[in-house]
């Protein structure tokens, strides 16, 4: 139930699809746009508002689409622009919005812009990327390190200079301080909005601008954790998070405001993500929302950890609107990180109800509605360049990118008619869509019920949040909007609690899981009640 007084995205549930792994329509082992289109009724049945599509743009696939060689075309492995247009049209028929994933920090080294830029120091695009002369001894211009390991600089003999890359060497850094580059980005935004796209998820936005003086990053203090990459040994003071990024985002917002009902969400990771997310979403002239990595790499989910993250986003004028995700394409599946000794199905039911009760937008990753666990990918099957480079200390992202299980009795679980680009998870067979559709008490049906509760509640979708005193391991809060008040209580600990609010008689339970009832909460349980 969307409040007409609020934009559609306020409190929206957004379903992330990793196109390579969702559905293969042509039998080449790789998911594609037509495969997604064929399964849009399933997505719509979940009760989500929008779909976020990970990159499907033309790319050499060194980083599986996050290395773009043409921002305004579809890579042939995914289909054509006509296929994309058909996907958007069908999604809109079903009441779904489409959000595309844009990468503005870097391109592929096979992009026409970079090919021209590296050809000389005086061509029209010479300044479109970050180039720098070597030090007198021939070494890189500073100490910056790339996320995926090694220096953030690669020598190019054509220009006799180094170019910067914060990720793979095949992902050269765009010079986003440069006005012509910004204007070309604005043209790309308009290209997709003109095709009916409803919003953008902007990848690694705090990596998009650097310190033009190229000052060295200071060393990071030892926090006692195992550091597997040189990147982890630095405070990224100068290589990212430049103060001009919010000013650039104001220009981006002006382009979006040329269109109605469009949406922007930024991905923000790193040590200062909370501060940056607020800066990127402050007021009404920057991005609509941002989400970070609060929960994506957390080894456990506790009541105190949740509360600490949520209280950073009070309902105050000038403070942006948050977004939350428990899973995505860069992080291990949550049930494998958090369930520990708990029954995975019980844990997933509690986790889904909890996510639906959070203040902000919520993101579901494909297969999360099925409770898919992480898949252990053998080294010889790895595709993830970061995992291959840092084996075995960096957990492969591939384990969360495996094919969607549609049919339990099919050789490749209904994803494809041939061997997929990544192995299917055998543990996913019993969790396949067809199995859960046939089970009235499955997590899939529970997800639909939970999202229906959120969508029908102004308080859960867009209300305030107030935390209540509760014993250790218990998270209790009220959501309120207008005349509606909702009480949400979750036991994330390993012991049962008998707990009740001060006005215990004034609540009607609506939905519960894990054996929770008013007012007894076993371990791994949750309850939502409405004020009478």
Verdict on whether the full-model pTM lies above 0.85: yes
Q: Is residue 144 part of a domain?
A: no
Of 426, 452, 478, the last residue of a domain is 452
Q: Can you give the pLDDT at residue 36? A: 98
Catalytic annotation, pick one of 112, 232, 258, 381: 258
300 shares a domain with 183: yes
273 shares a domain with 376: yes
* Cβ–Cβ < 8 Å for 506, 531: yes
Would you say residue 3 has pLDDT above 80? no
> In the predicted model, what is the mean pLDDT of residues 378-397?
82
Would you say residue 204 has pLDDT above 60? yes
Digit-coded pLDDT (tens) for 64-116: 999 999 999 999 999 999 999 999 999 999 999 999 999 999 999 999 999 99
524: domain CATH number is 2.60.40.1180
Catalytic annotation, pick one of 203, 276, 327, 384: 203
* Bridge-based pairing state of the strands 474-481 and 153-156: unpaired
Q: Can you give the pLDDT at residue 392? A: 75
State the residue for tokens 């200390």: 393
Instruction: Grade residue 391 by pLDDT with cuts at 50, 70 and 90.
Output: confident
Measured CA angle at 52 (ends 49, 54), to 5 deg: 170
SS3 assignment, position 17 = strand
Would you say residue 466 has pLDDT above 70? yes
Choice between 353 and 378, residue whose per-residue pLDDT is larger: 353
Torsion angles phi and psi, residue 273, rounded to 5: -60, -35
Beta strands in 371-521 (DSSP E): 464-467, 474-481, 484-491, 497-499, 507-513, 519-521
Would you say residue 173 has pLDDT above 70? yes
Instruction: Respond yes or no: is residue 122 known to be catalytic.
Output: no
473 shares a domain with 438: no
Would you say residue 215 has pLDDT above 90? yes
Instruction: Respond yes or no: is residue 203 known to be catalytic.
Output: yes
**Secondary structure tally for the chain: helices H, strands E:** 14, 20
* Cβ–Cβ < 8 Å for 386, 367: no
CA dist., res. 196 & res. 436, Å (int):
33
Instruction: Retrieve residue 88's tokens.
Output: 């958007």
CA dist., res. 99 & res. 52, Å (int):
5
Average pLDDT of the chain is 95
Would you say residue 469 has pLDDT above 60? yes
Instruction: Grade residue 269 by pLDDT with cuts at 50, 70 and 90.
Output: confident
Digit-coded pLDDT (tens) for 226-263: 888 899 999 999 999 999 999 999 999 999 999 999 99
Q: Can you give the pLDDT at residue 1? A: 52
486 shares a domain with 442: no
**Cis peptide bond upstream of 392, omega within 30:** yes
What total of structural domains would you count in the chain? 2
435 shares a domain with 382: yes
Distance between terminal CA atoms of the chain?
20
CA dist., res. 467 & res. 501, Å (int):
11
Instruction: Grade residue 2 by pLDDT with cuts at 50, 70 and 90.
Output: low
| Full domain range(s) for residue 320 | 13-104+179-452
Q: What radius of gyration do the chain's Cα atoms show?
A: 23
* Bridge-based pairing state of the strands 13-17 and 361-365: parallel
Q: Can you give the pLDDT at residue 198? A: 98
């Amino acid at each position: 139930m969307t409040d007409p007084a609020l934009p559609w995205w306020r409190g929206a549930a957004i379903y992330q699809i990793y196109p390579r792994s969702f559905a293969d329509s042509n039998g080449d082992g790789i998911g594609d746009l037509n495969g997604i289109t064929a399964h849009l009724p399933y997505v719509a049945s979940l009760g989500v508002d929008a779909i976020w599509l990970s990159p499907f743009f033309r790319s050499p696939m060194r980083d599986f689409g996050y290395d773009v060689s043409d921002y305004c075309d579809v890579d042939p492995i995914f289909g054509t622009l006509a296929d994309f247009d058909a996907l958007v049209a069908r999604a809109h028929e079903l009441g779904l919005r489409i959000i595309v994933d844009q990468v503005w920090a870097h391109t592929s080294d096979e992009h026409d812009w970079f090919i021209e830029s590296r050809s000389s120091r005086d061509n029209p695009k010479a300044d479109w990327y970050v180039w720098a002369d070597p030090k007198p001894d021939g070494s890189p211009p500073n100490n910056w390190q790339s996320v995926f390991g090694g220096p953030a600089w690669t020598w190019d003999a054509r220009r006799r200079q180094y170019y910067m890359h914060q990720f793979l060497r095949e992902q050269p850094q765009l010079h986003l301080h440069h006005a012509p580059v910004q204007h070309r980005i604005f043209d790309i935004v308009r290209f997709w909005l003109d095709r009916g796209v409803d919003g953008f998820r902007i990848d690694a936005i705090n990596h998009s601008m650097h310190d033009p003086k190229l000052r060295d990053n200071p060393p990071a203090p030892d926090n006692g954790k195992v550091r597997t990459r040189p990147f982890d040994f630095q405070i990224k003071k100068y290589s990212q998070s430049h103060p001009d990024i919010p000013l650039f985002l104001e220009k981006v917002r002006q382009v979006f405001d040329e269109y109605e009902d469009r949406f922007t969400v930024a991905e923000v990771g790193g040590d200062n993500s909370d501060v940056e997310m607020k800066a990127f979403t402050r007021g009404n002239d920057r991005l609509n929302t941002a989400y970070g990595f609060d929960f994506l790499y957390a080894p456990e989910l506790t009541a105190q950890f949740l509360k600490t993250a949520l209280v950073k986003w009070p309902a105050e004028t000038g403070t942006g609107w948050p977004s939350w995700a428990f899973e995505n394409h860069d992080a291990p599946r949550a049930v494998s990180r958090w369930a520990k000794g708990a029954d995975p199905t019980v844990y997933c039911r509690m986790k889904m109800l909890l996510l639906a009760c959070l203040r902000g937008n919520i993101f579901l990753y494909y297969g999360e509605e099925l409770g898919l666990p992480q898949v252990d990918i053998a080294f010889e099957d790895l595709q993830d360049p970061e995992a291959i480079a840092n084996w075995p200390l960096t957990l492969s992202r591939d384990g969360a990118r495996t094919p969607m299980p549609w049919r339990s009795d099919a050789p490749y679980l209904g994803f494809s008619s041939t061997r997929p680009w990544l192995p299917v998870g055998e543990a996913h067979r019993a969790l396949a869509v067809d199995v859960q559709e046939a089970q009235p008490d499955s997590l899939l049906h529970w997800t639909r019920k939970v999202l229906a509760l959120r969508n029908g509640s102004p308080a859960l979708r867009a209300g305030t949040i107030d935390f209540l005193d509760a014993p250790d391991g218990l998270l209790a809060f009220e959501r309120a909007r207008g005349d509606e008040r909702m009480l949400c209580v979750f036991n994330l600990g390993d012991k049962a609690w008998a707990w009740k609010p001060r006005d215990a008689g004034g609540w009607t339970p609506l939905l519960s899981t894990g054996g929770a009832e008013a007012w007894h909460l076993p371990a791994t349980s949750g309850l939502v009640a409405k004020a009478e």
